[in-house]
């Protein structure tokens, strides 16, 4: 369903209790399992681009060993991302290489930070949808032995065959 509107499927989120009698069960005992369903957008990963108006570049002479060249020439680069205050510094012999390396490292750090923030938001949304995942915390029950699917939020029921064929929207509150 990529590219389609997935918001109606959010009704399907939560715990599902699945009851069945396996063909190998001689005494006809019902086996119960729990499945948790969360609806998230897989394309929600942020794309980060570093703009020139968001950075401040400072040039300075290097520290440490190196003699006159290191102390006299301002080849070391410090790039500051002004919205976040993130700083990357490179000290080397070549000015353009230091700038390029510092900018690349800053872009990488900011991209990782944006990905972590996006993942936290997705995880929070998933936890809200799934709940505890315990059997008592259920949204739907599917009983294959009785050919019945029950919604515990709308108190509607349809056949399990119909539910498994994709007509789950008949159970949702509308």
pLDDT in the model for residue 1: 46
Instruction: Look at residue 2 and tell me if it is in a domain.
Output: no
For 91-112, how does the pLDDT look when each residue is reduced to its tens digit (9 = 90+)?
A: 988 899 999 999 999 999 999 9
Domain with 143 in it: 7-39+139-171
Total number of domains in the chain: 2
- Do 27 and 56 have their domain in common? no
On the question of pLDDT at 21 being above 80, the answer is yes
Instruction: Look at residue 133 and tell me if it is in a domain.
Output: no
Domain containing 84 — which CATH number?
3.30.160.20
pLDDT in the model for residue 109: 93
Instruction: Look at residue 60 and tell me if it is in a domain.
Output: yes
Instruction: Look at residue 132 and tell me if it is in a domain.
Output: no
For 121-168, how does the pLDDT look when each residue is reduced to its tens digit (9 = 90+)?
A: 888 888 887 776 666 678 888 899 899 998 888 888 999 999 889 888
- Do 119 and 56 have their domain in common? yes
pLDDT in the model for residue 134: 66
Distances (CA, A) of 3 to 6, 7, 11, 133, 167: 9, 12, 19, 29, 20
On the question of pLDDT at 3 being above 70, the answer is no
Instruction: Look at residue 131 and tell me if it is in a domain.
Output: no
Band of the pLDDT at 79, cuts 50, 70, 90?
Answer: very high
- Residue 40 phi/psi, 5-degree rounding, is -130, 160
3-state secondary structure of 25: coil
Distances (CA, A) of 166 to 34, 97, 136, 142, 158: 19, 57, 25, 13, 12
């Amino acid at each position: 369903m990529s590219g389609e509107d997935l918001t109606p499927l959010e009704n399907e989120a939560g715990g599902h209790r699945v009851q069945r009698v396996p063909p190998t069960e001689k005494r006809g005992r019902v086996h119960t399992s729990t499945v948790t369903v969360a609806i998230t957008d897989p394309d929600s990963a942020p794309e980060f681009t570093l703009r020139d108006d968001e950075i401040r570049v400072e040039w300075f002479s290097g520290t440490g060993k190196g003699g006159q060249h290191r102390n006299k020439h301002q080849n070391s680069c410090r790039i500051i991302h002004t919205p976040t205050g993130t700083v990357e510094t490179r000290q080397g012999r070549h000015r353009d290489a230091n700038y390029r390396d510092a900018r690349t490292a800053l872009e990488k750090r900011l991209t990782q930070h944006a990905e972590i923030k996006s993942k936290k938001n997705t995880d929070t949304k998933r936890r809200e949808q799934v709940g505890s995942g315990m059997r008592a915390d259920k949204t739907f029950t599917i009983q294959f032995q009785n050919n019945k699917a029950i919604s515990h939020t709308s108190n509607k029921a349809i056949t399990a065959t119909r539910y498994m064929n994709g007509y789950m929207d008949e159970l949702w509150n509308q």
